[in-house]
């Protein structure tokens, strides 16, 4: 179960900035293009979710930034990625949400913008990614502390 303090500290600020980031990306025109492409691909492929993440979703993008897309689909997502690259005519990095490492999945779901799919599925996967990450941190913490102690590194 998520602790209320964690929700207040981590999740609520994310929701507050989500709208700001959405507006920022919308101004670039990229979001509308991506949503249109994602909708078409969602109708042609067995896709459950397509999520924009990284600098484009976080408002840190420059004209030279690539586009980071996470996809939850049945089968290989590379064909979908190739289609997105072809349509955008720019560099696009694709992550398969089924096989993404826990930390990457957490970052994608924490900061990502849903381009295609059911919002309930998106929020359900976001909740799962947060829980997995919290469990992972709990398991990793004693090992990290031991390694830091061994290396003589302190937390302060």
CATH of the domain at 90: 3.30.460.10
Beta-carbon contacts of residue 23 (< 8 Å; ≥ 6 apart): none
Domain contains 60: yes
> Could you give the number of structural domains in the chain?
1
User: What is the pLDDT, as a whole number, of residue 21?
Assistant: 66
CA atoms within 13 A on the CB side of 8: 3
Domain contains 156: no
Write down how long the chain is.
156
User: What is the pLDDT, as a whole number, of residue 6?
Assistant: 59
> What residues of the chain score a pLDDT lower than 70?
1-12, 15-16, 19-28, 154-156
What residue numbers bound the domain in which 100 lies? 4-151
Q: What is the mean pLDDT of the chain?
A: 85
Domain contains 102: yes
51 three-class SS: strand
Domain contains 38: yes
pLDDT tens-digit series, residues 107-122: 999 999 999 999 999 9
Question: Residues 70, 129: contact at Cβ < 8 Å?
Answer: no
Give Cα 64 distance to the centre of its chain. 20
144 three-class SS: helix
DSSP assigned state of 66? -
User: What is the pLDDT, as a whole number, of residue 31?
Assistant: 85
Q: What is the dihedral of CA 97, 24, 118, 44, to 10 degrees?
A: -70
Domain contains 105: yes
């Amino acid at each position: 179960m998520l602790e209320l303090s964690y929700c207040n500290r981590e999740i609520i600020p994310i929701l507050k900035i989500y709208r700001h980031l959405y507006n920022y990306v919308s101004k670039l025109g990229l979001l509308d293009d991506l949503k249109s492409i994602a909708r078409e691909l969602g109708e042609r492929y067995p896709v459950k979710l397509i999520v924009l993440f990284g600098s484009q979703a976080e408002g840190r993008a420059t004209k030279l930034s690539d586009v980071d897309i996470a996809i939850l689909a049945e089968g290989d997502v590379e064909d979908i990625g190739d289609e997105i690259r072809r349509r955008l005519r720019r560099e696009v990095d694709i992550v398969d949400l089924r096989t993404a490492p826990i930390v990457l999945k957490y970052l994608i779901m924490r900061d990502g913008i849903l381009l295609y799919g059911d919002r309930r599925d998106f929020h359900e996967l976001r909740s799962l990614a947060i829980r997995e990450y919290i469990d992972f941190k709990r398991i990793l913490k004693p090992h990290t502390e031991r390694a830091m102690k061994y290396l003589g590194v302190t937390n302060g």
